[in-house]
Structure 1
Amino acid sequence: MALRPVQVNVKALDASAVGRFWAEALGWSAYRPGVTTYVGPAGGLVWPAPVGLGIDVVPVPEARTATKNRVHLDLATTSPAHQAELVARLKTLGATPADVGQGDVPWTVLADPEGNEFCVLEPREVYRDTGPIAAVVVDCEDPRAMARFWGRATDWTLHEVTDDQASLRSARGDGPYLEFLRVPGAKTVPDRVHLDLLPYPGDDRAAEVARLRALGATDLDLGQGDVPWTCLSDPEGHEFCVLAPH
């Protein structure tokens, strides 16, 4: 039994506008399958995306706080010229420079139109085949513990683990990485960005949720009421949802 990460969930006051931003940023398409705006590869809505992770932008009434998100996206580039072009294009789409204390680094930190931070990376060989999203990055206090939990929660393969960082990727070797970076301080406020997981066809969602609780996940009440998904937190308080199979 295992779950597969299928999408990055982003909360937004204006889900349509944020969805359009991410679709144009990634060269994908924005779809409106319901109240949310789903961003996935062009060519028609296919969910879940066969390779990589989609982005599901969910409308919420609350504005983002000033606290930095503990989860963000890293975007891949293929050359210094591509990096510069992408940064310039993203700014024309509504992205703004963001200072998260990064100092002098070879990547560029930006924020989407509602302030969610993301990075445009310099070219790195490890991300040459990930697609436009290089990694989903999670700030944490203990990368080793996070890698243990998420490695058991999902069917993704551990690629690297140290005291300072850990990374997992789909066992098929495609799509983005899931990375955990050590940062000082614990999580204090709900995030605007989280992962959604999906059981495989034929697997029992309730049994998967029970398995996650045994691994250290805790139930999370966000006021979601009676919904067909389950909201949980990992051992460091990062929110995630287990979706119902369609």
Structure 2
Amino acid sequence: MSITLHALSVDAKDPAGLARFWAGLLGWERADGNELLPDEKTPFRLRFLPSDVEKDRANQIHFHLTSETPEHQQETVARALELGGRHLDIGQRPEEGHIVLADPEGNEFCVIEAGNKFLADTAFFGEVASDGTREVGYFWSKALDWPLVWDQNEETAIQAPTGGPKVAWGGGPVAPKAPKNRIHLDLVVPAGDDVDAEVERLIALGATRLESGQEGAAAIPMADLDGNEFCILTAPRE
């Protein structure tokens, strides 16, 4: 197994503006092409890609940010609002400790309360929270060779062997899928390794290869067991 998670890619009407927001909130360095270079605790980038598609439902993936203290949580919320974020009501109860926000393009994220045990061993960018089945959690554990760190009541989570954010799936029932998810995973195969062999390995695990729609595209589009898109990038990366 040689494939790695290179980035989470986010569709955006204003990729540069969204990159500025998340760079300011996370404190990550902004690189060329509206990419954010992660801190030392996070093994993947954030990429913001141009799209004219209107957001018409909750995203299949949203982010969880952690808090060291109650004051830190409030500081994160205040910074998000100053950068152009807003509060979001998704039916959360007043007694719940997390605070739900949206970035300038409506992408949901949560600022988790201090003392959350599930995210105690993660980074400030603590979790990639996903709507998905238990089976898709097993798939991604095998695809990335990341161990399962949670497997209870249909909920699963994986984490890189080096630590950092967890990637989690909430179990069924899964919400109806958007025609194309606004956030997807981008994978890379190291130079010199066999990309076709990795594609076949993922297909054997249950993935599907999709039509790219673009001749000579620099990515191989695929879908996981729940039909969620991901890409294997084939162009040289930094």
The TM-score with structure 2 as length reference comes to 0.90
The change in CA–CA distance for 1:225 and 1:201 in structure 2 (over 3 A counts) is: closer
* Mapped partners of 2:175, 2:19: distance in 1: 29
* Mapped partners of 1:237, 1:77: distance in 2: 33
Q: Answer whether contact 2:146 2:159 (CA < 8 A) is retained.
A: yes
Q: CA deviation at 1:164?
A: 3.4
3-state SS in 2 of match to 1:106: coil
* Mapped partners of 2:120, 2:41: distance in 1: 18
Q: Answer whether contact 1:187 1:237 (CA < 8 A) is retained.
A: no
Match of residue 168, structure 2, among 156, 160, 179: 179
* Mapped partners of 2:214, 2:12: distance in 1: 16
* Mapped partners of 1:224, 1:176: distance in 2: 33
The TM-score with structure 1 as length reference comes to 0.87
Q: Answer whether contact 1:75 1:133 (CA < 8 A) is retained.
A: yes
> What one-letter code is carried by the residue in structure 2 that aligns with 1:37?
N
Structure 2: gaps spanning 5 or more residues: none
Match in the other structure for 2:35: 38
The change in CA–CA distance for 1:50 and 1:117 in structure 2 (over 3 A counts) is: closer
Match of residue 112, structure 1, among 103, 110, 113: 103
Match of residue 243, structure 1, among 228, 233, 237: 233
Q: Answer whether contact 2:212 2:220 (CA < 8 A) is retained.
A: no
* Mapped partners of 1:131, 1:183: distance in 2: 27
Matches within 5 A, 1:82-93: 82-93=72-83
- Residue by residue over 1:152-183, the C-alpha shift from the partner in whole angstroms, topping out at 9 and shown as x without a partner, is 111211111123311101112x2211111125
> What one-letter code is carried by the residue in structure 1 that aligns with 2:108?
E
Q: CA deviation at 1:228?
A: 2.0
* Mapped partners of 2:90, 2:213: distance in 1: 30
> Is 2:231 aligned against 1:234?
no
Q: Answer whether contact 2:64 2:128 (CA < 8 A) is retained.
A: yes
Matches within 5 A, 1:160-239: 160-172=150-162, 174-189=163-178, 190-221=180-211, 223-239=213-229
3-state SS in 2 of match to 1:178: strand
* Mapped partners of 2:98, 2:215: distance in 1: 40
The change in CA–CA distance for 1:222 and 1:122 in structure 2 (over 3 A counts) is: farther
The change in CA–CA distance for 1:50 and 1:92 in structure 2 (over 3 A counts) is: closer
Q: CA deviation at 1:116?
A: 0.8
Match in the other structure for 2:23: 23
Match in the other structure for 1:122: 113
Matches within 5 A, 1:64-83: 64-83=54-73
Match of residue 137, structure 1, among 129, 133, 137: 129
The CA RMSD measured in Å over matched residues stands at: 2.0
Structure 1: gaps spanning 5 or more residues: 43-48
The change in CA–CA distance for 1:41 and 1:70 in structure 2 (over 3 A counts) is: closer
Q: Identity, % of aligned pairs? A: 36
The change in CA–CA distance for 1:89 and 1:186 in structure 2 (over 3 A counts) is: closer
Q: CA deviation at 1:127?
A: 3.0
Q: Answer whether contact 1:196 1:242 (CA < 8 A) is retained.
A: yes
> Is 2:9 aligned against 1:12?
no
